[in-house]
């Protein structure tokens, strides 16, 4: 197997580090491979990129066993980057419009077409909502876009991750945070590997030199991935570490 020069690995969580795309149970196989890599590759940084809130992502990193001295945590779909104890607020310039959108959602949408994510209490920039049972998520996305347009909200986008609907600044994504991480650390993006499973990971994979999709990833993500694993979700993450990092 050709040895890639990998200095950092950043993984999505839901659908990637989990046992499948239909559960929130973390894959023990993936966690074992990550811990082995941390023990044997002291030069390697391993981090997370997720749509979850910062506090949830940070807590997961802790219990996964990631090393906080070399662990980038990208949360809220790229709005926040945490590295070595410092939180970088990438979406700070959009604060006023984000707050307006949240007020509008409280008034116009919650309880009518969506319910609010429990994590919104802890979110800073990217707020998440779940379509009500019996509704089409993509139809709900269109309705929310119309509501925001009615109130003159122009710089925010509405995205469906396959798990939740997110309202986030239009020009911000997981890839935006990876580029900032690269600037902070001096690690060339060509030596960063990113692993994902859904269309919300497209910009993440496009921002790095080693783009990886698990076997059950969406077709959109597979089109931008340089490496498509033979195994799904967490078992695919373990496959990547064993083939390209641990050489087991």
142 in the same domain as 193: no
End position of a domain, from candidates 139, 169, 199? 169
Q: How many domains, the chain?
A: 2
Q: What is the pTM of this model?
A: 0.94
- 177: tokens are 């945070």
**In CATH, what number is assigned to the domain containing residue 102?**
3.90.1070.10
132 in the same domain as 28: no
Domain that includes residue 223, residue range? 8-90+173-246
Active site residues: 12
pLDDT at 56: 96
Contact present, 49 and 205 (Cβ < 8 Å) = no
158 in the same domain as 35: no
Tokens 């396959």 sit on residue: 162
Cβ neighbours, 10 Å, residue 217: 29
Tokens 């994590």 sit on residue: 119
**In CATH, what number is assigned to the domain containing residue 196?**
3.40.50.1000
Contact present, 179 and 189 (Cβ < 8 Å) = yes
Mean pLDDT in consecutive groups of 10 residues from the start of the chain, 248 residues: 82 96 94 95 95 96 94 97 97 96 96 96 96 96 97 95 92 96 97 96 97 97 97 97 84
Q: Go through 53-86 and write b for each residue having 16 or more CB atoms within 10 A of its CB, e for each that does not.
A: bbebbbebbeebebeeebbbbbbbbbbbbbbeee
143 in the same domain as 20: no
Summarised one tens digit per residue, pLDDT across range 150-182 is 999 999 999 998 889 999 999 999 999 999 999
86 in the same domain as 184: yes
């Amino acid at each position: 197997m050709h040895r890639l020069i990998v200095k950092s690995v950043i993984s999505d969580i839901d659908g990637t580090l989990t046992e499948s795309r239909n559960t929130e149970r973390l894959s023990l196989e993936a966690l074992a491979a990550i811990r082995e890599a941390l023990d044997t590759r002291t030069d390697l940084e391993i981090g997370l990129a997720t749509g979850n809130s910062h506090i949830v992502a940070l807590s997961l990193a802790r219990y996964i066993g990631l090393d906080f001295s070399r662990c980038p945590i990208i949360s809220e779909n790229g709005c926040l980057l945490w590295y070595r104890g410092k939180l970088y607020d990438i979406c700070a310039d959009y604060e006023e419009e984000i707050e307006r959108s949240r007020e509008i959602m409280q008034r116009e949408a919650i309880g009518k077409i969506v319910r609010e994510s429990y994590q919104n209490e802890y979110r800073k920039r990217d707020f998440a909502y779940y379509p009500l049972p019996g509704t089409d998520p993509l139809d709900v996305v269109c309705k929310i876009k119309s509501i925001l347009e009615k109130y003159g909200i122009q710089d925010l986008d509405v995205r469906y991750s396959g798990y939740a609907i997110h309202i986030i600044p239009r020009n911000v994504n997981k890839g935006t945070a990876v580029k900032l991480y690269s600037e902070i650390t001096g690690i060339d993006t060509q030596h960063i590997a990113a692993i994902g499973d859904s269309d919300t990971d497209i910009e993440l994979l496009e921002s790095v030199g080693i783009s990886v999709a698990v076997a059950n990833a969406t077709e959109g993500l597979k089109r931008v991935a340089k490496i498509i694993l033979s195994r799904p979700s967490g078992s695919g993450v373990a496959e990547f570490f064993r083939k390209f990092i641990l050489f087991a």
